[in-house]
Amino acid sequence: MAETEPKDSPKDSIEAADSHEPDIYGEDGAVRSSFLARVGAAIADRDVLFLRAHVGHLHPSELGHILQVLQPEQRQALVQLLGEEFNFEALTEVDEAIRLEIVDALPNEQIAEGVQDLDSDDAVYILEDMDEEDQEEILAKLPFTERIRLRRALDYPEESAGRRMQTEFVAVPPFWTIGQTIDYMREDHDLPDRFSQVFVIDPTFRLLGAIDLDRILRSGRAVKVEDVMQETRHAIPATMDQEEAAQIFEQYDLLSAAVVDENERLVGVLTIDDVVDVIKAEAEEDILRLGGVGDEELSDSVFSISRSRVPWLMVNLLTAFLSASVIGLFEATIQEMVALAVLMPIVASMGGNAATQTMTVTVRAIATRDIDIYNASRVIRREAIIGLVNGIIFATVVGLVAGALFHNPQLGGIIAAAMVINMLAAALGGILIPLLLHRVGADPAIASSVFVTTVTDVTGFMAFLGLATWWFGVHH
Amino acid sequence: MAETEPKDSPKDSIEAADSHEPDIYGEDGAVRSSFLARVGAAIADRDVLFLRAHVGHLHPSELGHILQVLQPEQRQALVQLLGEEFNFEALTEVDEAIRLEIVDALPNEQIAEGVQDLDSDDAVYILEDMDEEDQEEILAKLPFTERIRLRRALDYPEESAGRRMQTEFVAVPPFWTIGQTIDYMREDHDLPDRFSQVFVIDPTFRLLGAIDLDRILRSGRAVKVEDVMQETRHAIPATMDQEEAAQIFEQYDLLSAAVVDENERLVGVLTIDDVVDVIKAEAEEDILRLGGVGDEELSDSVFSISRSRVPWLMVNLLTAFLSASVIGLFEATIQEMVALAVLMPIVASMGGNAATQTMTVTVRAIATRDIDIYNASRVIRREAIIGLVNGIIFATVVGLVAGALFHNPQLGGIIAAAMVINMLAAALGGILIPLLLHRVGADPAIASSVFVTTVTDVTGFMAFLGLATWWFGVHH
């Protein structure tokens, strides 16, 4: 593996792709169009030599990027042309729709061959979305131990630590010396591709502790494993939700952690790279939910996306009719003073925005556990004050402008009063609704927006039109 | 460090806190109130013994959690009572406002003592937010090499890899053997606390490559370092933005990466735990920006939060007035048919929601680089079709309901037509505006919402009221 080519190898030519410094990405971080065009031409020409030399040896994530940007027919052709050289790990780097499209077109035989070379966590990632029948057929073609391992992981629930774990790990007994441990690693060729900890287990596979590799390297050969191992404080139960496991990794800065079954027996290892994916995915999920979309991907079909967005729009429609019915209560007042119709969206819109600000902060604080029983009441009070302060500021601005525009200072006063009321309602709705949803076990990210804007729309129209009806009714 | 107590140590008692299995967290993941009450009492009683035994030895992140939930006066008292036992690393786990509050109250002498025990990245994290004067005073009190290291990191721009790197690393020459390398690690006591790679450098500190620790452990003692090292493909320039560095970590599943200066000399190492923090922070930032809030923290003051939210509300106010002026154009029509005022928010609100869906997906796709020159036009076309399909679905529903409610089928037809127009505008605005902002170098997350909802409000009111004016004007 000695690689000591000069650093100044040609960076811009496509030829660089099979030196060990490929540069398939342009300045903007996207795959270079020149490279992509060359790959496309090679696929069209069935130029297997070029593809194996320049595409087959890319890092799996790079190959994944290429697959992602190719046309569907090109993807199939590329996988076929690469044949045994195709690294199935690349499939863990593409959207689910693309992954399924590729594996559906492949014979199960070839998939079984391909996943055998992978770490078990990657193999599971590819298998878990396939239909039961294909899954079984592929598993049946695998060697016994491999099959048992994958099936064990697949038996754990989706999004659990057991599903994400890698079943390959290094484990030694506590009475070994560091020297024995190092010798074992030098001799055994069935070690995982990469690892950062050695686990210590008893004869029944019960987890006793772990030693980080840097600690092994720092210890003398004669030192006993049990004297340098650290008792495991953060063993992850296989059934634990992946998000919770990710939080433990994050809090304790772990690189890997033992996954244990219900009898505290070591069954696998969760590694930081999988956890990083989980952290990204969970943040992503929150963003999409706040925006009222499910976990759609760019490669999903128009039909499935359209359908997945309808429920949210439907809920919004119902709340929009609710707001409309509030306006309907004041038809007579509006008819007499059309300025109200002109101004009323301002009150609602400012409330909606202020509420969205508060809600966003609250949803995040709940997700990161920054908000808890110790500070909830303080935070609620604080948001109320902020709502009131900003309400007064904007009430003044809007009141003066509206009063001047319509040459009606009373109208200015009424919209100002309505603004203060609605901004306060916005602050309280923005914090209380997510907290309440969280309390009853719902995901605050998914449902807060719709409730919160309903509150501000209804309160806004009601306060503004109600005050106007009362005031001008009395002073007519 | 042999820790082989039985696993069934009392889990629920506070006494467990100084065994090595503290259980300061309750079922809900928050700090147990019983533990917190005990700590509060110990602070009030100045019970140094208890605090050192049960709080001083907690993991820094746990101590950070405790600090976060204590009252401000309690925080100061706790740090003071722990004295030299206070682990400054805990300060990297609390909000910026709390960190500044604590360090501002401490003598610079004590801070200098405290940061000396930390890895350089943690020390920099604490120092970087302090004011220049204090920073200089603290640096001046540090030993020479430590001072040089920290100053070097602090000289790199904020949010750069150089700022986040750790300047402690293990580096060996290429002609050493694996045996020599292991012996060196066994003897040198000035190694970083944790590391997962050994770097290979030439006499001028130019980076030649790296070896993962598992590879060292698998290689025989006689093997030469240069024969097992991997040429570094992903050396991170110290000036690279931390977000870009995080993307490299993520793509290539790195645990650590060399940070090099402009002469390709090794100056530090970036580790995955810091990168995880960056990934979290960047996702967080996007969520908050989409919600129209800056990077506020729960511990910020009412005044600073209120002020930071005003600009966004002000922008929204201007766009609200713009929408209002559109309505103003049609005052005469509304006066004649108040039903229009009742129904118009439905058109605007549905458009706003549909646009937010599209915008959220687009902003995320831009952030994760899932959208690029290869698929942009396809994605735009797809969103337009989805907008049209969902527009027709909801136009039908709204048209029928509105027509029935107001016993006016013509009104139903008009609102349906306006809905289709606005949902299409929503889809196009939702995707084109973020893409355009990204193209001109602006952050699409920060400004998209306001532009997008302006488009749907203006289009919605204009289409609905305009169509109504034209139709009923002609057919009156």
Residue of B nearest to A373 (CA): B30
For the beta sheet containing A207-212, the strands, ordered from the edge strand earlier in sequence to the opposite edge, are A171-172, A197-201, A207-212
Collapse the DSSP code of B389 into the 3-class scheme (helix H, G, I; strand E, B; otherwise coil) and give the result.
Answer: helix
Residues in chain A closer than 8 A to B290 (CB atoms): 287, 290-291, 360
Residue of A nearest to B300 (CA): A382
Of all residues in chain A, the percent with pLDDT exceeding 90 is 58
Looking at residue B14, its pLDDT comes to: 38
In a domain, A111, yes or no: yes
Residue of A nearest to B186 (CA): A218
Q: Give the model confidence (pLDDT) of A218-233 as tens digits.
A: 999 999 999 999 988 8
Q: Is B227 on the interface with A (CB under 8 A)?
A: yes
Q: Would you call B21 and A233 a contact, using CB atoms and an 8 Å cutoff?
A: yes
Q: Would you call A365 and B298 a contact, using CB atoms and an 8 Å cutoff?
A: yes
B416/B72: higher pLDDT: B416
Would you state the structure tokens that stand for residue A215, as one six-digit string? Answer: 């600690």
Count: domains in chain B: 3
The residue among B233, B372, B435 with the most chain A CBs within 10 A of its CB, best to mutate, is B372
Q: Is A115 on the interface with B (CB under 8 A)?
A: no
Q: Please list, in sequence order, all residues whose beta carbon lies within 8 angstroms of the beta carbon of residue B345, skipping any fewer than 6 positions away.
A: A320, A323, A324, A327, A345, A348, A457, A461
Q: Would you call B276 and A280 a contact, using CB atoms and an 8 Å cutoff?
A: no
Q: Would you call B298 and A231 a contact, using CB atoms and an 8 Å cutoff?
A: no
Q: Is B37 on the interface with A (CB under 8 A)?
A: no
In a domain, B141, yes or no: yes
Q: Which of A279, A353, A373 sits opposite B313 (nearest CB)?
A: A353
Would you state the structure tokens that stand for residue B457, as one six-digit string? Answer: 């409000």
Please give the average per-residue pLDDT across B298-310, as a whole number.
82
Residues in chain A closer than 8 A to B16 (CB atoms): none
In a domain, B293, yes or no: no
Please give the average per-residue pLDDT across A417-432, as a whole number.
95
Q: Give the model confidence (pLDDT) of B325-375 as tens digits.
A: 999 999 999 998 999 999 999 999 999 999 998 998 898 888 877 787 778
The CA R_g of chain A, rounded to the nearest whole Å, is: 30
Per the structure, the complete domain to which residue A124 belongs is given by 14-164
A123/A241 same-domain check: no
Q: Looking at the predicted structure, is the pLDDT value of residue B2 above 50?
A: no
Residues in chain A closer than 8 A to B21 (CB atoms): 231, 233
Q: Looking at the predicted structure, is the pLDDT value of residue B400 above 80?
A: yes
Looking at residue A26, its pLDDT comes to: 82
Q: Give the model confidence (pLDDT) of B98-129 as tens digits.
A: 899 999 999 999 999 999 889 899 999 999 98
Q: Would you call B334 and A341 a contact, using CB atoms and an 8 Å cutoff?
A: yes
B110/B213 same-domain check: no
Q: Is A467 on the interface with B (CB under 8 A)?
A: no
B449 vs chain A: nearest CA distance in angstroms?
10
Q: Is A312 on the interface with B (CB under 8 A)?
A: yes
CB B436 within 8 A of CB B423: no
Q: Looking at the predicted structure, is the pLDDT value of residue B476 above 60?
A: no
Q: Indicate the DSSP class of residue B268.
A: E
B402/B351 same-domain check: yes
Give φ, ψ of A147 to 5 degrees. Answer: -60, -45
In a domain, B49, yes or no: yes
Q: Is B404 on the interface with A (CB under 8 A)?
A: no
Q: Looking at the predicted structure, is the pLDDT value of residue B15 above 60?
A: no
In a domain, B429, yes or no: yes
Q: Would you call B279 and A276 a contact, using CB atoms and an 8 Å cutoff?
A: yes
A155/A175 same-domain check: no
Please give the average per-residue pLDDT across B189-212, as a whole number.
91
Q: Which of A316, A359, A398 sits opposite B317 (nearest CB)?
A: A398
A186/A283 same-domain check: yes
Mean of the per-residue pLDDT values of chain B: 88
A322/A356 same-domain check: yes
Question: Which among A420, A373, A362 is positioned nearest to A395, based on CA atoms?
Answer: A420
Residue of A nearest to B295 (CA): A361
* HSE (side-chain half, CA atoms, 13 Å) at A219: 23
Residues in chain B closer than 8 A to A321 (CB atoms): 346, 401
A394/A456 same-domain check: yes
Q: Is B433 on the interface with A (CB under 8 A)?
A: no
Please give the average per-residue pLDDT across A269-277, as a whole number.
90
Collapse the DSSP code of B205 into the 3-class scheme (helix H, G, I; strand E, B; otherwise coil) and give the result.
Answer: coil
CB B402 within 8 A of CB B343: yes
In a domain, B52, yes or no: yes
Residues in chain A closer than 8 A to B339 (CB atoms): 331
In a domain, A377, yes or no: yes
From B164, B181, B209, the end of a domain falls on B164
Q: What whole-number distance in Å separates Cα of residue A258 and Cα of residue A415?
A: 61
CATH of the domain at B341: 1.10.357.20
Looking at residue B279, its pLDDT comes to: 85
From A121, A145, A164, the end of a domain falls on A164
Q: What whole-number distance in Å separates Cα of residue A282 and Cα of residue A305?
A: 20
Please give the average per-residue pLDDT across B408-420, as a whole number.
96
The confidence band for A22, taking pLDDT boundaries of 50, 70 and 90, is low
B79/B140 same-domain check: yes
Q: Give the model confidence (pLDDT) of A186-224 as tens digits.
A: 887 778 888 999 999 999 999 999 999 999 999 999 999
Looking at residue B298, its pLDDT comes to: 72
Q: Looking at the predicted structure, is the pLDDT value of residue B191 above 90?
A: no
What HEC string does chain A produce?
A: CCCCCCCCCCCCCHHHHHCCCCCCECCCCCECHHHHHHHHHHHHCCCHHHHHHHCCCCCHHHHHHHHHHCCHHHHHHHHHHHHHHCCHHHHHHCCHHHHHHHHHHCCHHHHHHHHHCCCHHHHHHHHCCCCHHHHHHHHHCCCHHHHHHHHHHHHCCCCEHHHHCECCCCEECCCCEHHHHHHHHHHCCCCCCCCCEEEEECCCCEEEEEEEHHHHHHCCCCCEHHHHCECCCCCEECCCEHHHHHHHHHHHCCCEEEEECCCCEEEEEEEHHHHHHHHHHHHHHHHHHHCCCCCCCCCCCHHHHHHHHHHHHHHHHHHHHHHHHHHHCCHHHHHHCCHHHHHHHHHHHHHHHHHHHHHHHHHHHHHCCCCCCCCHHHHHHHHHHHHHHHHHHHHHHHHHHHHHHCCCHHHHHHHHHHHHHHHHHHHHHHHHHHHHHHHCCCCHHHHHHHHHHHHHHHHHHHHHHHHHHHHHHHCC
Q: Please list, in sequence order, all residues whose beta carbon lies within 8 angstroms of the beta carbon of residue B445, skipping any fewer than 6 positions away.
A: B285, B286, B289, B290, B363, B367
From B256, B271, B286, the end of a domain falls on B271
Please give the average per-residue pLDDT across B243-265, as a whole number.
91
| Dihedral sign (CA B227, B228, B234, B237) | negative
B428/B341 same-domain check: yes
Ranges assigned E (strand) in B311-390? none
β A197-201/A207-212 pair status? antiparallel
Give φ, ψ of A23 to 5 degrees. Answer: -135, 65
Tell me the sheet residues that pair with A212. Answer: A197
B140 vs chain A: nearest CA distance in angstroms?
31
CATH of the domain at A43: 1.25.60.10
Residues in chain B closer than 8 A to A32 (CB atoms): none
Greatest CA separation found in chain A?
Answer: 98
Give φ, ψ of A172 to 5 degrees. Answer: -130, 160
CATH of the domain at B39: 1.25.60
Looking at residue B8, its pLDDT comes to: 40
CB A176 within 8 A of CB A159: no
In a domain, B55, yes or no: yes
B32/B137 same-domain check: yes
B410/B307 same-domain check: yes
Q: Is B185 on the interface with A (CB under 8 A)?
A: yes
Other CB atoms closer than 10 Å to residue A74's CB: what's the count?
Answer: 17
Collapse the DSSP code of B350 into the 3-class scheme (helix H, G, I; strand E, B; otherwise coil) and give the result.
Answer: helix
The confidence band for A49, taking pLDDT boundaries of 50, 70 and 90, is very high
Please give the average per-residue pLDDT across B408-436, as a whole number.
95
B44 vs chain A: nearest CA distance in angstroms?
18
CATH of the domain at A195: 3.10.580.10
A346/A271 same-domain check: no
Q: Is B295 on the interface with A (CB under 8 A)?
A: no
The confidence band for B475, taking pLDDT boundaries of 50, 70 and 90, is low
The confidence band for A102, taking pLDDT boundaries of 50, 70 and 90, is very high
